[in-house]
A and B are shown apart, each in its own frame.
Chain A
Amino acid sequence: MSEIWVIAEKRGTQIHSSTYELLGKARELAWKRGSSVALALLIQERPTEETFRNLFRGGADRVMIAVDKSFERFDFGPYIRVLKEMVSQRPPEVILAPATTSGRTYMPGLAALLGTGLTADCTGLDIEEGTGNLLQTRPAIGGNIMATIKTPKHRPQMATVRPKTFSPLGEVYRERGEIVDFPVRPELVESPARLLKFDSIGEGEKGVQDAEIIIAGGMGLRRMENMAPIYKLARMINGTVGASRKIVDSKWIGHEAQVGLSGHTVKPKIYIAAGISGAVQHIAGMQTSEFIVAINRDRNAAIFNFADIGLIGDATEILTQLVEAMELEVRK
């Protein structure tokens, strides 16, 4: 029976949440298709029993592990050669991986070696009635269109999926499953690339991509000092500060905070856009947020067309009032 594969994403030796999101989706597709789910994990040391159990609970029937020092940090060559070899031993029907900096790099590499198609940054996956083909839906052209893409004649069908698009399985799938050790031959992981240094961004510093709540500022704040209530609010609710390109270009905040076409795509539970006009390039990065709040002085600002609630007025004043009200709430 043909399998649906998920390639695990890790941070250090921990499995990243995007892996469980994909397992959840793969499980759902497997039920439809009548196939099973396998997880491939390339990692520097053998995972704990608990990790295996979580993967089975999360939707995997089978876990394939390749253990080698070279997997400590992602390196293109070793990854694509090992994955290619795994695929050739037991070719799957579908391969899914998170659209992270590493997933977006090894998936195209692997697709090139396998001579098959790859759909980028999917936000929807389904099985086509009749043919059983994977229907891959992705936003394109700045999020203004949704394209549905098929890989009708080539196998495996490959897709990367934006983190936070799907949800992990709601219930426990199974407690145990098959564990397969993939022997890593030295020539597969030989690499001319040398990692000289790794500077980690401190724990707790959540990037906009991983944020549950984003409070984003735009030029309507008028001055960098007026960002203060945004930072204050972010601290109170463990939110992350985002930005439009204009304030990044004005050096009020670093590029890592930029949301939009040339910044990050985000999908928080709540997105607050304060003093942001709603240019298409900004919208492209945040329109799939679950709930959008816009604060703008101009009632005709485009951002209101993309918001669930809109507050019309001075952004700094409104935010300051909000922060004061929240502080009262804390003291209660």
Chain B
Amino acid sequence: MRILVLLKQVPDTDEVKLDPENGTMIREGVGTVINPLDLHALESAIRIKESGEHELTVVSMGPPAAEEALREAIAMGADRAVLLTDRKFAGADTWATAKTLSAMIGLEGPYDLILAGEKATDGETGQVGPETGAMLGVPVITYVSRIIEVGEDGIVVEREVEDGRETWKVPYPVLLSVTKNVNEPRLPTLKGKKKARNANIEKMGSEALGLEPSTIGLMGSPTRVVKINTPKLSRQAKLYEGSELIEGIARLKALLKPYLEVNHE
């Protein structure tokens, strides 16, 4: 089976501090990492790979620096890594991102199993996975919380939705997006790190992918961010401390009183 994991490189949120003045994130000096939720997709893929004769590729669209994220994926257990990088890809919205990823998959494919994270911690749309699946014309199962069985003729997964849990069986090819509940990602091993250091990261640009400039990057993006503003986050809290605490509790009680259940025993 051929397995592909879609990996995005994002700013390291662990290092992000909030500017107390205006509530924006301070991004200077912040490193980048594999999107934390994508590690769960990668872990799922590695486990499947270890269970049989499978080939595991990771792909990312991003700047040359995203090579580091791909190396980390190899250190964890991916066989090969492809970086889709080109100045013309810059400013892509989710549609143009999915277009670029699906071009690579179309060219290299078919992949039997494609895995994505639930969402990226920066753009946070969760759209790239299902858009890519639709462009490829493959079934898509999102919010996968458990991989139950990886069979010859299909995969059985559980997905968590608002009103319960569903179990689906889908034949290959299929695209899954997984949540963090699916597993605990492993850490790279020393041996893996060594392998990653010397690994060849394959690179492809728009020409290699056969993509017209009008379909990629900012030019190919139907959406435009026209304004960014920083909401004033802070509220003016009335604080109750020490002897005033009683008053604060009374206020909270008054606030909740309308919600008291009538037939409370």
Where the two chains meet, the residues of A that have a C-beta atom closer than 8 Å to any C-beta of B are: 11-12, 73-74, 76-77, 80, 100-102, 104-113, 115-121, 135, 139-142, 144-154, 191-201, 207, 209-210, 212-213, 233, 235-239, 255-256, 261-262, 270, 272, 280-281, 283, 287, 291-294, 299, 302, 304-313, 318, 321-322, 325-326, 329-330
Given contacts A120-B126, A280-B25, whether A76 and B141 have CB atoms under 8 Å apart is yes
Contact (Cβ within 8 A) A236 B180:
no
The residue that A325 contacts in the complex, of B140, B166, B249, B259, with Cβ under 8 A, is B249
A147 CA / B225 CA spacing, docked (Å): 6
The residue that A306 contacts in the complex, of B159, B229, B234, B238, with Cβ under 8 A, is B234
A236 CA / B229 CA spacing, docked (Å): 40
Where the two chains meet, the residues of B that have a C-beta atom closer than 8 Å to any C-beta of A are: 13, 16, 18, 20, 23-25, 36-37, 93-95, 98, 121-135, 139-143, 156, 159-171, 174, 180-181, 221-231, 233-242, 245, 248-253, 255-257, 259-261, 264
Contact (Cβ within 8 A) A149 B226:
yes
Which residues on B sit within 8 Å (CB–CB) of A307? Answer: 235, 237
Q: Could you list 18 A-B pairs, sorted by A, with CB under 8 Å?
A: A11-B162, A76-B141, A77-B139, A80-B134, A107-B127, A108-B129, A112-B95, A142-B121, A148-B226, A154-B222, A193-B139, A196-B156, A201-B164, A293-B252, A299-B239, A312-B240, A312-B242, A322-B253
Q: Report B60 CB to chain A, min CB distance, Å.
A: 19
The residue that A270 contacts in the complex, of B222, B248, B256, with Cβ under 8 A, is B256
Q: Which of A108, A144, A283 has the most CB of B within 10 A?
A: A108
Given contacts A193-B168, A262-B36, A305-B237, whether A150 and B134 have CB atoms under 8 Å apart is no
A-B contact count (CB 8 A): 271
The residue that B142 contacts in the complex, of A104, A142, A147, with Cβ under 8 A, is A104
Contact (Cβ within 8 A) B164 A262:
no
Nearest neighbor of B139 in chain A, beta-carbon distance: A193
Which residues on B sit within 8 Å (CB–CB) of A291? Answer: 255
The residue that B239 contacts in the complex, of A108, A109, A272, A312, with Cβ under 8 A, is A312
A sample of 18 more A-B contacts (CB under 8 A), given A142-B16, A209-B162, is: A76-B139, A108-B125, A108-B131, A112-B95, A117-B223, A120-B94, A140-B124, A145-B24, A145-B230, A148-B225, A196-B167, A199-B164, A262-B121, A293-B255, A306-B237, A308-B238, A309-B239, A312-B239
Q: Report B43 CB to chain A, min CB distance, Å.
A: 16
Contact (Cβ within 8 A) A237 B256:
yes
Which residues on A sit within 8 Å (CB–CB) of B231? Answer: 139, 145-146
Contact (Cβ within 8 A) A144 B24:
yes
